[in-house]
Structure 1
Amino acid sequence: MSRWCKVSRLKIMTGILSIILFLSITYFSNVFFELINEEPWERHARDMQWIRNTKTRLYEDKAKDGSYSYESLIINFKFANNYLSKRCESWKQQTNKLIENIQQSIADVPKYYLTAVIFVRIYEHDKSNITARDLLQWIRYYLYIGVEHFYIYDNYVVEEECQRDYLYEYIQAGFVSYFDWHDRNPYTMEIQRAAYQEVINKFKHDTVWQMALDVDEYPYSPIDKDPGFLTRFISKFEQLNPGITEITLSNYLVLGEPDIEKDWFIERIFRETKKEANNLVKPIYRPKYVRARLHRNIVLSGYSVKANEDEIRFKHYWSARLQNWGPDTEEVLELTTPEYGIIDISYTLKNCIVETLPNPF
């Protein structure tokens, strides 16, 4: 081979490598600057894509996973950012202002006005088929209704069930206190009650009111769906009932065949019992003055009052337990009636997802 051919081939290879190097530098530079200049809603979209497509679900849900492309998430979040940001911001400001006004009226101001306790295990063979994503949606709903802080007791059995990583952003942002109770197994009702009592013992001076709930229980008001409705209700109720220690809410079961196309838990079923289903109520209580039980607490000082179910009640999503997410039956249709009011709250939560998620960046 002639010297000229060797030189030409060398020049060609050098040129190709130079082009590849140039394109690589250009590409990674663009990625770097895009990340730096990324809007908050774009960051959340990217984060939500990770949540959807990696370990959000520990097992297959009977509701479709509903994974979306990054591009479709960006479009959805642009819509929320451009058209709903004022609405999203207004409910946060409204709730915060309400809590601030309430706390100013209390002489010895605790850190929080309303907190929530949950004892949870998310596992494959759970009949309710609750997932990590359902837990995150539950937290967002409770933030909307006025809860300021969560005490989450994780009763997982194997490491794959642990919820710590899914809750990381909320823990870092100060919304969640996380407690690893995997060594308290096998589960008993007494272990769950002990978790409720531990929160009372350790944190009763940090909050005025508290709830101890399950992940399939949602407070709901037929007459008030605005941000902070639960906090607003409690504030008015305690003014009308001086010295009250515990407020109990009627338990309405949500039953029926689910719409498996819906990604949000509270949008899958819209039939609820026509009246209170049972006495398995979860109260709202002043932790300073009670001893924990799973349902009605032992009131040490003050008294307990049941709230008017036409003003506020619990929606308890029991369809999975009673029907295994199956079709409607004559018995279910006879017991229940359609009730779509919660969809207004769901719409706001979905479209304000950027505003309600803690920003990890």
Structure 2
Amino acid sequence: MAARNRLPIFVNKHFLDKKRKSLKYKILSYALFPIGLIEQKKLKRASSISYKRENFKYKMVVVSIMKNEAPYIKEWINYYLSIGVDHFYIYNNNSSDSTEEILKSFPKVTCINYPGELRQLDAYNDALNRLKKIAQYITVVDADEFVFCPNKVKFNLYQFVDEYLSHKEIAGLGIHWLIFGSSNFITPPDGLVTNNYVFRSKTNFYKNKHVKTIVNPRKILGYTNAHLPIPLPGYKIVNENYQVIDNPTSDNVTEEKIRINHYFTKSKEEFMKKRDRGLADNIGKRSIEEFKIHDKNDVFDNSMQIFNENNNLNKK
């Protein structure tokens, strides 16, 4: 199924309005399954090809799909640039604000207009197809997610990840997130998100079981889940301690070496705007209960403030 989902017929513009529960869609899905098996064999053969590092156009690319994230884009991009990301492939999904204009103002951003509903997995699979020969590694994250190495004033994401993905059998590094709450803000304060929201959940908060994954695109079969892609046979995805991850959530939350600071709620007002945008992977809107669930302010954590200060990122 993962290889089938990467087929151009599944990710191109002709299928923007596909209804995933319709009879027509189900028939198409089953009809293309044998082609997916053929594609899997092709991808497996291609994964054995040895690529020289210097032949890649980019060492580290960030991939994201976003809608109406204009107030937050500059901080997010500048942060990832500060930790060594070479380029961004951003799928602009029906934005009605200045998201596209801001994205195109950055020379290291490729903005792809990607309209339609339920496009998250399509975008990720499209990115695998586009980048498999030009990007050594891909970091797939949302616009409220910041990959962070705690206890390090400076770090390079590519160098950190390469220690794991340079192993022949490893296809990806799964990174747990820590949920940051509203810091009791009702309305958004001025300044950087990463400076303002300094209270987070405890590590054992059950929502922190989720991972996001940095991958070698040549060793990935495809995405059927936004958190954890399917590796090709013979490869594996591991956490920071080299333990195999085979599920989008893991009871063993590890975040001592690397984590994702997930600013899920921000202020209550911002969460309500986020709720109105809808979901990238499901029909409908978030429940207001999700704010209550995720608004965790149990641990004071200003490590991003310190990082921003030391890397001159305090100007938004």
Q: How does 1:48-197 map to 2 (within 5 A)?
A: 106-107=52-53, 109-122=55-68, 131-156=69-94, 160-161=96-97, 163-170=99-106, 173=107, 175-182=108-115, 184=116, 187-188=117-118, 191-197=119-125
What is the RMSD computed on CA atoms of the aligned residues? 2.9
SS at match of 1:156: coil
Match of 2:17? none
Tell me the distance in 2 between the aligned counterparts of 1:202 and 1:119: 15
Which of 343, 351, 354 is residue 305 of structure 2 equivalent to? 343
Is the 8 Å Cα contact of residues 156 and 162 (structure 1) preserved in structure 2?
no
Is the 8 Å Cα contact of residues 199 and 296 (structure 2) preserved in structure 1?
no
Which of 188, 210, 217 is residue 287 of structure 1 equivalent to? 217
Gaps of 5+ in 2: 1-50, 241-253, 273-290
Cα offset for 1:238?
3.5
The aligned amino acid for 1:224 is: K
SS at match of 1:224: coil
SS at match of 1:251: strand
Matched, 1:278 2:208: yes
Gaps of 5+ in 1: 1-104, 123-130, 354-361
Matched, 1:296 2:259: no
Tell me the distance in 2 between the aligned counterparts of 1:263 and 1:335: 19
SS at match of 1:133: coil
Cα offset for 1:162?
5.0
Match of 1:221? 149
SS at match of 1:146: coil
Bigger radius of gyration, 1 or 2? 1
TM-score using structure 1 length: 0.56
Change (3 A) 1:323 1:313: farther
Change (3 A) 1:120 1:331: closer
Matched, 1:200 2:128: yes
Change (3 A) 1:352 1:161: closer
Higher helix share: 1
Cα offset for 1:260?
4.2
Match of 1:235? 162
The aligned amino acid for 1:141 is: Y
Q: How many equivalent pairs are there?
A: 227
Is the 8 Å Cα contact of residues 247 and 306 (structure 1) preserved in structure 2?
yes
Deviations 1:197-241 (A, max 9, x none): 11111221111110111100011111223042x2221122335x4
Cα offset for 1:273?
1.5
Which of 172, 183, 192 is residue 246 of structure 1 equivalent to? 172
Tell me the distance in 2 between the aligned counterparts of 1:335 and 1:344: 19
The aligned amino acid for 1:297 is: P
The aligned amino acid for 1:177 is: T
TM-score using structure 2 length: 0.64
Cα offset for 1:322?
7.6
Q: Which moved more, 1:259-268 or 1:330-339?
A: 330-339
Tell me the distance in 1 between the aligned counterparts of 2:169 and 2:203: 29
Change (3 A) 1:282 1:331: closer
Percentage of matched positions with identical amino acids: 21
Change (3 A) 1:107 1:199: closer
Cα offset for 1:304?
0.8
Tell me the distance in 2 between the aligned counterparts of 1:132 and 1:147: 20
